[in-house]
């Protein structure tokens, strides 16, 4: 026996006896000492208080007259009543009086009462220890369930945890046909027992109905020692399932959420009966609640992941499609423009004035198709891992190149384009080709949506970004159609075209601003737009000086 066990054993045999009558005290002490108890005595209240402070008795044998003005010893008390004594009920409650005998007690009765009180105290302590151990084991099961979002893993943690914590022979768990959770079957068996696959088979509908009834009543079905046929249809249904394992004792715990059960847990003992306590049942129901929440949450996450995967596949298919279409369109377009140039240069003979006008139409539309293909190619590359080719770029020079490039388009529409030179050179760290595409798309849009005789003004000036750092602000303001208010939130969306642009048959793909917005964002800049229907639109581009 270890020192700890020996100490505990000796403590369990310690008794404090308090009696103001010396003769009775001697008789009581002698009876208990003869039975093997270690007895400490007190003849008055002060001595009793000192003994209780110094000792750790298993039982206190106490004369009724000494119960006043002392704290509770925290252990069972055997009260010694004198003939004619009146009992102070408040003192009885304070002192945790567990039993009483009439003074002077018979020795054998006294010893029996003391041993009974010690046995009861030991049993209560054992039960508390068992409950705490079970509570800790099932707390770990709940923690394991909450630590994963994979439904089958949740089920495996559940059946193994219940089996080991409850000392069961078999544990089954099954979900029903329910859109909230996936179909799950999980089983655990004690080592040495034949594995029995978790299944419901033809009983599923009946087991689901029985579990729904239990769930509705917030109850479980517990059979402590089944030796006869079930007395209720509910018990018969669930016992039919458990009976496949020759269950001697079992408990069925519904797992549910809201108004219905979504599954059931079956814990089975095959070799002996088991008295399922309310504590065990309450703890199992608590874990079942965590399981229901985890399964529903995990099922939703799995569904979201599947949708996300499908979206990624669709996005990749879209990108691949755009890349393929661009390639297939670029090849014949190159041939068309090459032969067009050859015809205009006279390779096929003189070109009449009427044919020249037709060739000009072909040339304009070929150029439009080329730009559309380039825009689609840019869109297909957005979101890829391609990096920016950064270097110091003079904003003023980029704007001059853009204006020079688009001047013929503006003149063909009788639109005046003005560029206000900045007071000083401003350079940003950027990809020059992509930055040129941004302003080309914006200015081309402004020209395209401005009626004949209108104007497009371009300005640039130093500014301060939201984070307090230096930046450059470029504004492109036109006197064009303007954008309807309800369309403004969508202007940077790919392939979106304002309703008035469609109704007035202004050509376009709806990609220009979307591409510009993406490029500016990759440069850690900001693209803004303000517009009033019938009065024009102003697009602003703010880029940090120094770049991303």
How much is the pLDDT for 466? Answer: 79
Residue 367 burial (CB count, 10 A): 13
Task: List the pLDDT tens digit at each of the 548 positions of the chain.
Answer: 344 444 444 456 899 999 988 998 999 999 999 999 999 999 988 898 888 888 889 899 988 888 765 666 678 888 888 777 776 666 666 666 778 888 888 999 999 999 998 888 888 878 787 788 888 988 999 999 888 888 999 999 999 999 999 999 999 899 998 888 888 999 999 888 877 765 666 778 888 888 898 999 888 888 887 554 444 555 666 666 655 666 778 888 999 998 899 999 989 888 788 888 888 999 999 999 999 999 988 888 877 888 888 888 887 777 777 667 666 676 677 778 777 878 877 887 888 888 888 888 787 777 777 777 776 666 656 555 456 788 999 999 999 998 988 888 888 889 999 999 877 788 898 989 889 889 988 998 899 889 899 999 999 998 888 777 899 999 999 998 888 888 888 888 776 667 656 555 455 566 778 888 888 998 889 999 999 888 899 999 999 987 55
- 340 CA to centre of own chain: 62
Please list the alpha-helical segments (H only) found in 456-511: 499-503
Phi, psi of 126, rounded to the nearest 5 degrees: -65, -45
What stretch of H or E contains 248?
A: none
CATH of domain 390-544: 3.30.565.10
Helices then strands, counting H and E runs in the chain, come out as 14, 17
What is the Cα–Cα distance from 206 to 230, expressed in whole angstroms? 15
What is the Cα–Cα distance from 535 to 479, expressed in whole angstroms? 6
For the entire predicted model, the pTM comes to 0.49
The fold of 3-129 is: Rossmann fold (3.40.50)
Work out whether the CA dihedral 434, 438, 444, 447 comes out positive or negative.
negative
Domain boundaries of the chain, sorted by first residue: 3-129, 139-302, 390-544
Q: Encoding tokens for residue 451? A: 């009626």
Residue 289 burial (CB count, 10 A): 14
How much is the pLDDT for 7? Answer: 41
Instruction: Give 3-state DSSP helix, strand, coil % of the chain, rounded to 5.
Output: 50, 20, 30
What is the Cα–Cα distance from 260 to 178, expressed in whole angstroms? 10
Determine if the peptide bond prior to 473 is cis (ω within 30°). no
Q: Encoding tokens for residue 445? A: 């849009």
Q: Is 440 left (phi over 0), alpha (psi -120 to 50) or beta?
A: alpha
Residue 280 burial (CB count, 10 A): 22
What architecture is domain 139-302?
2-Layer Sandwich (3.30)
Residue 333 burial (CB count, 10 A): 16
Answer yes or no: are the C-beta atoms of 376 and 511 closer than 8 Å.
yes
């Amino acid at each position: 026996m270890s020192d700890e066990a020996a100490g505990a054993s000796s403590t369990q045999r310690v008794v404090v006896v308090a009696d103001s009558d010396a003769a009775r005290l001697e008789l009581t002490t002698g009876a208990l000492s003869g039975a093997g108890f270690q007895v400490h005595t007190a003849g008055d209240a002060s001595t009793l208080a000192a003994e209780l402070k110094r000792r750790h008795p298993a039982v206190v044998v106490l004369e009724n007259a000494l119960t006043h003005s002392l704290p509770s010893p925290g252990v069972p008390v055997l009260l010694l009543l004198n003939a004619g004594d009146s009992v102070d009920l408040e003192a009885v409650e304070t002192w945790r009086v567990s039993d009483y005998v009439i003074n002077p007690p018979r020795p054998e009765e006294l010893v029996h009462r003391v041993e009974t009180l010690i046995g009861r105290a030991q049993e209560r302590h054992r039960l508390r220890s068992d409950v705490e151990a079970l509570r800790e084991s099932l707390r770990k099961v709940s923690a394991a369930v909450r630590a994963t979002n994979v439904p089958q893993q949740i089920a495996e943690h559940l059946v193994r945890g219940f089996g080991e914590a409850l000392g069961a022979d078999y544990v089954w768990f099954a979900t029903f046909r329910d859109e909230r959770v996936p179909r799950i079957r999980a089983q655990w068996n004690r080592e040495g027992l034949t594995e029995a696959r978790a299944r419901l088979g033809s009983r599923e509908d009946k087991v689901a109905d029985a579990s729904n009834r239990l769930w509705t009543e917030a109850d479980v079905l517990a059979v402590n020692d089944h030796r006869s046929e079930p007395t209720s249809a509910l018990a018969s249904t669930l016992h039919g399932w458990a009976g496949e394992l020759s269950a001697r004792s079992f408990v069925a715990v519904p797992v549910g959420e809201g108004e219905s059960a979504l599954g059931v847990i079956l814990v089975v003992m095959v070799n002996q009966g088991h008295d399922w306590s309310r504590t065990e049942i309450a703890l199992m129901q608590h874990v079942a609640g965590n399981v229901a929440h985890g399964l529903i949450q995990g099922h939703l996450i799995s569904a979201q992941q599947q949708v996300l995967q499908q979206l990624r596949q669709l996005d990749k298919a879209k990108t691949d499609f755009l890349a393929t279409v661009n390639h297939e369109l670029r090849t014949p377009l190159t041939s068309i423009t090459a032969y067009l140039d050859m015809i205009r240069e006279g390779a096929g003979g003189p070109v009449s004035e009427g044919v020249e006008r037709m060739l000009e139409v072909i040339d304009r539309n070929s150029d439009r198709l080329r730009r559309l293909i380039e825009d689609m190619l840019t869109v297909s590359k957005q979101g890829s891992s391609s990096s920016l080719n950064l270097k110091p770029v003079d904003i003023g020079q980029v704007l001059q190149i853009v204006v020079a490039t688009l001047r013929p388009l503006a003149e063909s529409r009788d639109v005046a384009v003005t560029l206000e030179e900045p007071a000083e050179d401003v350079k940003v760290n950027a990809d020059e080709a992509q930055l040129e595409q941004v302003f080309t798309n914006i200015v081309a849009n402004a020209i395209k949506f401005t009626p004949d005789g209108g104007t497009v003004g371009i300005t640039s000036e130093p500014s301060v970004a939201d984070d307090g750092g230096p930046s450059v602000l470029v504004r492109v303001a036109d006197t064009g159609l303007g954008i309807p208010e309800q369309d403004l939130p969508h202007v940077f969306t790919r392939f979106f075209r304002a309703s008035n642009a469609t109704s007035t048959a202004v050509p376009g793909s709806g990609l220009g601003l979307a591409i510009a917005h993406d490029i500016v964002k990759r440069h850690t800049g900001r693209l803004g737009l303000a517009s009033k229907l019938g009065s024009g639109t102003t697009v602003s581009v703010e880029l940090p000086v120094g770049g991303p």
